[in-house]
Structure 1
Amino acid sequence: MSAIGKALCHSRLWGADGPKRKHYADFISTLIKAAEAHEILRKIPIGGGDAWRLSPAALRLHVAMPSSEDAKANAFFRDLYTSVATSLGEPGALTFSFEAREHTAQVENDVRQWREDRFRFEEADRQRILSNKELMKDKEEPDSFLPMMFCSPTMELGVDISALSTVYLRNAPPTPANYAQRAGRAGRSGQAALVVTYCAAQSPHDQYYFNDRKQLVAGQVKPPALDLANRDLLASHIHAEWLATARVPLAASIPQNLDMDNTDGFPVAEEHLRAFERAKQNTQLPLDLKAIIDTVTPYVELEAFPDLADPETLIESVIAAASGDFDTTFERWRDLYRGALREQGDADQVRNKTNVAPGERKAAANRYKLAADELEMLVHGRATNGSDFYTYRYLATEGFLPGYNFPRLPLYAFIPAMRGTAVLQRPRFLAISEFGPNSLVYHEGRAFRITKAKLPAGRRSDDGNLATETLLLCGQCGAAETSAVAERCQACGSSLGEAERLDSVFRIENVETYPTARITANDEDRQRRGFEIQTVFAWTGDPGDVQTIRLKHGGASLAALSFGRRAKITRLNKGLKRRAEKAICGFVIDPLTGRWLADKNNDDGTGAEPGKSRQQRIVPVVEDHKNSLLLIPDPSFGFNLPEMATLQHALVRAIEISESLEEGEMLGEPMPNRDDRRALLLYEATEGGAGVLSRLMNTPGRWQSLARSALELMHYTFDDKGEFVDGNNPCVEACYRCLMSYYNQPDHENLDRTNRKVIDFLLAMAASDTVKANRASPPRDGGSGPWISRINDWELPAPSATTVDGHKHDLYWPGQLLLAVPGGASENLIASCTARGIDVLDLPADPPATIPANLAQYFGK
């Protein structure tokens, strides 16, 4: 029954003798006929039936009278809304307004100094504000008192803090050294100081130090750890000494160090090249550098860094290549400069056309202005150490000179600011998601959308498309093979026959943004769900870069661990997590302009409409080199996904605590991916590394101690009798005092500290033996990869490779004239080997836990 029907049948209208529901249809029909007779309703035909419409003449309009319902209104909220509406309509600041500004490296140097003046707001500060009032107005910076300023925890950017008497730390610092540094900011003028540290309930790091406050406040300050076995580190310092010897007065602005008249390549200025040649002939420089390197040599394992065994050759090679490396370092700047010139030229052509739509002309004018602002920043940028393109800072971020306070080789995002162009930079591994296609970034209180990737001209193929690469991703350990025809994984030796193949991989270096006026529900959903980011790795293959050990307990293998210096870590953005077809990876881009286009597979309402644009699907990637360790548990444990997740976070958290690392300095990734976890990749996220993984590999007893730390972290302990028991006040499965962390929230549902298989693994590791193993060459036949690993475990002689009837086999022992074939040998192979006097041994396709008897008899086992 309709609302009008319910009203007409209500007892309030008729009393107890009103119409019954069964008479409702007749009653309505009679009522309509009466209204039609009095011309209140008019009958109209609709869709083969009749309908009635209210006659306009039957309407009477009058001023609404105050309703008695007003008495039910909440007087407090009515007065509040009325007063707010009144204050919004009046000039001046709001009664409850509050201003806070950021004070970081992303803010222009002048603006940072103005904010320091506004923050202190003493007499001298107010005078400087008054003298800079017009400049501040141009930058839209207010001249009033600034009550709150956000800066880095160490306030290293120059804020005058001598008057501070109170420091509030929003979380527990990573180490006692950090606590002493930050707490010491208060009371520097001799006044009493108060330091308040907030420990978050859901931060395991904070809770760890909350329960052991003395260790943080009065704990031992450990010297900072730095991995000296790092060629890039030494090379950057050699470059610094070489540059000082050349006595080249580098200009603060990059273009002044290049020959800008030579538009073919913008090479290094001729006077600089002559100075570099003189430095190369300087006979004293190698001696000075040798003395510097000699101070490093006692702290480095020569086996891990063989270059130091012959420092003269190392110095000679770095100096010989220094001039060329200096020139190459500016290649990214050249690409940005050429791209801005090309964008400006293309926009100018559109502006000067006569037959162009008004909207297109306006868009071209806007592109022209943005390109001009970018050129202004690149060419005539402020020559200060606060500028991203200050020469020495640029050389440090590109890795040519030492620069520990800048991210090395960051990704740039160009932001169209109110006056000119600003640049945001992020470490590459963070930028692959934060600067992902059509993502939102925030700067100075405004939102900007990543709309475009800056594409170097030299990375296009002859057909105009981007020159992409192919990666084969090992399904066992997650290693990436760049050869499209590779048959074996270079890390674990597994077959790549069923490896995941990505044919459209493209490295992203810089992006552009555009201001966005509104944030949609799709944007919020994108931010919540995020991108599917996958991490892969590849050993560099340099001598001494990869070393392997095995952990054994009672003769049984626990795990194989491989450590590589400067392993290449690649992070791939395969698309939105909620994309339509998971098998389709990447995003659609215009290979000519770099614009991210609308994509049905990643349909979230963002991206430019393709129109007539050329389209190409690519998988954006970033690369870096990190000290990395691959841990492969023995297959006999048969860990499932939750067990691997528990083991991963137990080991990572134990490393962070035992090595006094902040969360995020040591990262762990499940391999080959989050849904299929067979191995763990650990890598040092800090620039250059802290040498933690190297010490784990080379210090006796380190893994055993780490396993005990992991068990203690999981609320277990050993009693006076050496029995393994639950500690005091343990949690049920996981908590923020043990395995949970803000950074591993996606794995929270998988964590279980009580899992018996994980506990047994860690107990065995705590009592294990460490056996060094040589890294075997990748096998070449169909199934010998896992067998080579087992053969090392059984301490058999290393097999060789041999060719029979044109087919290569890896499990051949010439001393025993024995060829072992996983999965069984064919009759033709047996006949060929018998004719040559070689015994053929059939082995199972997968190696068992113990050595097969038929194989053991050949080696007296």
Structure 2
Amino acid sequence: MALHIKEHTAQLDKDRALEYQNKFKDGELDALSCSTTFEVGVNIGDLNTVLLRNVPPTPANYIQRVGRAGRSPESSAYSITYCKNSPHDANYFHHPLDMIQGKVPVPCIRSDNIRIVIRHIFASALSFFWKQPGREYHRFISEFMAEYADLEEYLKSKPKDLLAYLKSVVPSSIHGHVAFDDETDLTIDIDNFGWVDELLDPVRGRLAQCRTEYESDLQSIEEYEEQKGYKLAGVRKGIEEEDTINYLSRHNIIPKYGFPSEIVELANRDRYNDEMKLRLQRDLSRAISDYAPDSEVIADGNVVRSRYLKRIPSKDWPRYYYRECSNCNSVNIQLFTGQTLKDFTEQNTFCPMCSARYSGGMAKEFIIPKYGFLYEAEKQWNLANKKPTHTFSGEIFYRGNNTSKLKQYDIPGHSVSCAYGREDELVLINRSNFSICSWCGFGTLSRDVSEHYASNGKKCTGKLYSSSLGHVFRTDVFIINLEDVPIGSIDQALSVLSALTNAFCRLFNVDDNEIGGCVSMSSGHYIFVLFDNTPGGAGYVKTALADRSDNLLQLIRAALKISEECTCGNGERTDCACYGCLLNYRNQRYHDKIKRSYVIDALSGFKEE
């Protein structure tokens, strides 16, 4: 029996998604393969079966997803959950009632998360602008762009009613926040309207960047029309008549569903013949792997291959030089300001964290593809023949400065110091050696490229240079220094880190995609950095550890318990690990180094008597 199945995810444009939803309701499709876009606000009365391909993050998500079925009084519901071989799924496989009958806690949102606040400020400013006498909201983005100068003039006048409103709704703790790093921080500065630069500044302003891109798109259409000798009326209309609210939301200017993140798009390089109508977006931390050149993506039955880093006219990608220390697992990075890679290498021969000499020859470079990616226009089929490929995004390194703020925690019989860092800095690097053209953005993993073509199909004479891809971001961190614990190697430190992060997720009922961790070094000691994966912080490490010092001992003991009670190694050996205890997708680079015995040796002194 043939089954007719379609995808229903955020990768589709809204018209295509609605088409599939209606076909499913009418019985023309047998099943929908859905992401969380189907989790909230969708009611299909006679839906009776839900299959979950993994365990949801929390009981609240579980209720939402299985609750899609059986909503009609005449229907019954059936749901089955498949558990992956991961710490989160394995935990609920053995304790299913903790998910099915689990408690739904009161949602906690950091109201002073600058990345949340800035988009609400932008939305408020636009609302006040449109409420002026004689002015109105325009549905089409072309009409909005036509009044860009008016918006600019309005905000530069620093309207008093807008100022009063923002002072009343923005948390007072961040009223005066000013960016101290042009690449990763944001300015609020309510009294002086400093936030306007984040919207309109020619270099860093989000809306200014959108305007440049919008005008460049229209100019490209004119050039294409002149070259081909015919009009692209439909394409022009699609650009000019995009809904204003959708456009502003898609470009992270105003709020939308979910926590804010640094979203980039993988778009069709041939925007004038885009029949697939895809909406491919990822947070930049995932995009540097999933959307990197030569990576493949499945969407709506198609496989597309990324080929270009998107360029914005007259703007360069942020570039950094970096050196990694194999001794302490730290990274030393420096923003490119004109110096050569050779100079940076010669000036940085020793690790500033542990004083070990760097190995591996020349330093390396990474660029931040903050403007997104372009995929090749050709469709690729044969989905069943091979799995789509993408590069591994590497790991996250701590780059903050809160190790100097470590304070003693009260754990009897032990010397443990910790520090909480708000909006602290981390860096993620995809170490793959890409060949990138700085002129057109062409990218490839191949080293054998004699010539290449720009995204407009014309031959490009720009030179390819070697570079990795990276992402620098800020979030909440919690640093743990087990001062009297003898951790003798980076392998043991990585094992303890894995135990701590997995224990955090189980102990505090947090999805393992929400929490990250990395190893660094301070004063000769390995330290463990736990952090919220949400840019700006989602409140997990703060509420669980920074606000509850008594939870730290519980966390350490939970990490020890995970390592002691796992049965991998036939229950006899502990010089191993598995996905049920310490291993996960993010630490796969170190699977051969991580062992339960390392954790047991390090943390056995904390065992409850």
TM-score, structure 2 length as denominator?
Answer: 0.77
- Partner of residue 190, structure 2: 317
Gaps of 5+ in 1: 1-95, 123-144, 260-267, 309-313, 353-364, 461-465, 576-585, 718-725, 768-861
Amino acid at match of 2:52: L
Q: Distance in 2 between matches of 1:505 and 1:203?
A: 31
Question: Cα–Cα, structure 1 residues 175 and 489, in superposed 2: closer, same or farther, change >3 Å?
Answer: farther
The 5-angstrom pairing of residues 484-633 of structure 1 reads 495=355, 498=358, 502=363, 504-508=365-369, 509-516=371-378, 527=389, 530-531=391-392, 533-539=394-400, 547-550=405-408, 557=415, 561-575=418-432, 586-596=433-443, 599-600=446-447, 612-631=461-480
Query: How many angstroms does 1:178 deviate by?
Result: 2.0
- Partner of residue 789, structure 1: none
- Partner of residue 640, structure 1: 489
Q: Distance in 2 between matches of 1:423 and 1:374?
A: 16
Instruction: Answer yes or no: is the 8 Å Cα contact 1:165–1:191 preserved in 2.
Output: no
* Rg larger in structure: 1
- Partner of residue 148, structure 2: 269
Query: How many angstroms does 1:761 deviate by?
Result: 2.7
2:6 to 73, 79, 101: 101
Q: Distance in 1 between matches of 2:77 and 2:175?
A: 51
Q: Which shows bigger deviation, 652-661 or 605-614?
A: 605-614
Q: Distance in 2 between matches of 1:548 and 1:691?
A: 20
Q: Which shows bigger deviation, 245-254 or 549-558?
A: 549-558
Question: Cα–Cα, structure 1 residues 489 and 103, in superposed 2: closer, same or farther, change >3 Å?
Answer: farther
Instruction: Answer yes or no: is the 8 Å Cα contact 1:479–1:536 preserved in 2.
Output: yes
1:216 to 82, 92, 99: 99
Instruction: Answer yes or no: is the 8 Å Cα contact 2:514–2:534 preserved in 1.
Output: yes
Query: How many angstroms does 1:444 deviate by?
Result: 1.8
Q: Does 1:650 align with 2:488?
A: no
Query: How many angstroms does 1:665 deviate by?
Result: 1.0
Question: Cα–Cα, structure 1 residues 401 and 105, in superposed 2: closer, same or farther, change >3 Å?
Answer: same
Instruction: Answer yes or no: is the 8 Å Cα contact 2:431–2:468 preserved in 1.
Output: yes
Question: Cα–Cα, structure 1 residues 325 and 439, in superposed 2: closer, same or farther, change >3 Å?
Answer: same
- Partner of residue 482, structure 1: 334
Instruction: Answer yes or no: is the 8 Å Cα contact 1:169–1:197 preserved in 2.
Output: yes
SS at match of 1:163: coil
- Partner of residue 140, structure 2: 253
Instruction: Answer yes or no: is the 8 Å Cα contact 2:53–2:81 preserved in 1.
Output: yes
**Quick one: percent identity of the two aligned structures?**
21
Query: How many angstroms does 1:350 deviate by?
Result: 7.0
Query: How many angstroms does 1:747 deviate by?
Result: 4.0
Q: Distance in 1 between matches of 2:260 and 2:292?
A: 18
Q: Distance in 1 between matches of 2:382 and 2:434?
A: 20
1:413 to 262, 266, 274: 266
SS at match of 1:457: coil
Q: Does 1:330 align with 2:185?
A: no
The 5-angstrom pairing of residues 704-723 of structure 1 reads 704-716=553-565
Deviations 1:436-475 (A, max 9, x none): 1122222221222212222223335xxxxx7844345566
Amino acid at match of 1:436: A
Q: Distance in 2 between matches of 1:624 and 1:556?
A: 33
Instruction: Answer yes or no: is the 8 Å Cα contact 2:85–2:579 preserved in 1.
Output: yes
Deviations 1:623-677 (A, max 9, x none): 32222345555597243344233212111111111221112111223559xxxx9
Amino acid at match of 2:440: T
2:599 to 751, 758, 775: 758
Question: Cα–Cα, structure 1 residues 568 and 346, in superposed 2: closer, same or farther, change >3 Å?
Answer: farther
SS at match of 2:474: strand
Q: Distance in 2 between matches of 1:424 and 1:436?
A: 13
Q: Distance in 1 between matches of 2:450 and 2:496?
A: 40
Q: Distance in 2 between matches of 1:738 and 1:436?
A: 31
Q: Distance in 1 between matches of 2:322 and 2:234?
A: 38
Q: Distance in 1 between matches of 2:126 and 2:444?
A: 45
Query: How many angstroms does 1:325 deviate by?
Result: 3.0
Instruction: Answer yes or no: is the 8 Å Cα contact 2:330–2:353 preserved in 1.
Output: no
- Partner of residue 67, structure 2: 184
Query: How many angstroms does 1:324 deviate by?
Result: 3.6
Amino acid at match of 1:538: R
TM-score, structure 1 length as denominator?
Answer: 0.57
Instruction: Answer yes or no: is the 8 Å Cα contact 1:246–1:279 preserved in 2.
Output: no
Question: Cα–Cα, structure 1 residues 517 and 404, in superposed 2: closer, same or farther, change >3 Å?
Answer: closer
Q: Does 1:458 align with 2:314?
A: yes
Q: Distance in 1 between matches of 2:91 and 2:31?
A: 30
Deviations 1:763-785 (A, max 9, x none): 44568xxxxxxxxxxxxxxxxxx
SS at match of 1:320: coil
Gaps of 5+ in 2: 178-186
Q: Which has the higher contact order (CA 8 A, sep 6+)?
A: 2
Instruction: Answer yes or no: is the 8 Å Cα contact 1:668–1:683 preserved in 2.
Output: yes
The 5-angstrom pairing of residues 777-816 of structure 1 reads none
Amino acid at match of 1:121: D
Amino acid at match of 1:478: S
Q: Distance in 1 between matches of 2:398 and 2:313?
A: 28
Q: Does 1:739 align with 2:586?
A: no
User: Once superposed, what is the RMSD of the aligned Cα atoms?
Assistant: 4.5
Question: Cα–Cα, structure 1 residues 596 and 103, in superposed 2: closer, same or farther, change >3 Å?
Answer: same
Query: How many angstroms does 1:430 deviate by?
Result: 0.7
Q: Which has the higher helix share?
A: 1
Q: Distance in 2 between matches of 1:279 and 1:198?
A: 54
- Partner of residue 539, structure 2: 691
Instruction: Answer yes or no: is the 8 Å Cα contact 2:503–2:562 preserved in 1.
Output: yes
SS at match of 2:16: helix
Instruction: Answer yes or no: is the 8 Å Cα contact 2:163–2:191 preserved in 1.
Output: no
Query: How many angstroms does 1:403 deviate by?
Result: 2.9
The 5-angstrom pairing of residues 21-60 of structure 1 reads none
Question: Cα–Cα, structure 1 residues 336 and 430, in superposed 2: closer, same or farther, change >3 Å?
Answer: same
Amino acid at match of 2:213: L
The 5-angstrom pairing of residues 110-189 of structure 1 reads 110-121=15-26, 145-153=28-36, 155-156=38-39, 159-189=42-72
Q: Distance in 2 between matches of 1:323 and 1:344?
A: 31
Instruction: Answer yes or no: is the 8 Å Cα contact 1:590–1:613 preserved in 2.
Output: yes
Question: Cα–Cα, structure 1 residues 112 and 628, in superposed 2: closer, same or farther, change >3 Å?
Answer: same
Instruction: Answer yes or no: is the 8 Å Cα contact 2:116–2:259 preserved in 1.
Output: no
Q: Does 1:446 align with 2:302?
A: yes
Question: Cα–Cα, structure 1 residues 598 and 418, in superposed 2: closer, same or farther, change >3 Å?
Answer: same
Q: Does 1:434 align with 2:299?
A: no
Q: Distance in 1 between matches of 2:164 and 2:397?
A: 41
Query: How many angstroms does 1:339 deviate by?
Result: 4.7
Q: Distance in 2 between matches of 1:183 and 1:627?
A: 32
Instruction: Answer yes or no: is the 8 Å Cα contact 1:488–1:494 preserved in 2.
Output: no
Q: Does 1:237 align with 2:90?
A: no
SS at match of 1:637: coil
Amino acid at match of 1:182: R
SS at match of 1:106: coil
Question: Cα–Cα, structure 1 residues 491 and 203, in superposed 2: closer, same or farther, change >3 Å?
Answer: same
Q: Distance in 2 between matches of 1:117 and 1:291?
A: 44
Q: Which shows bigger deviation, 270-279 or 442-451?
A: 270-279
Query: How many angstroms does 1:110 deviate by?
Result: 1.8
Deviations 1:796-826 (A, max 9, x none): xxxxxxxxxxxxxxxxxxxxxxxxxxxxxxx
Deviations 1:566-590 (A, max 9, x none): 2233322332xxxxxxxxxx32223
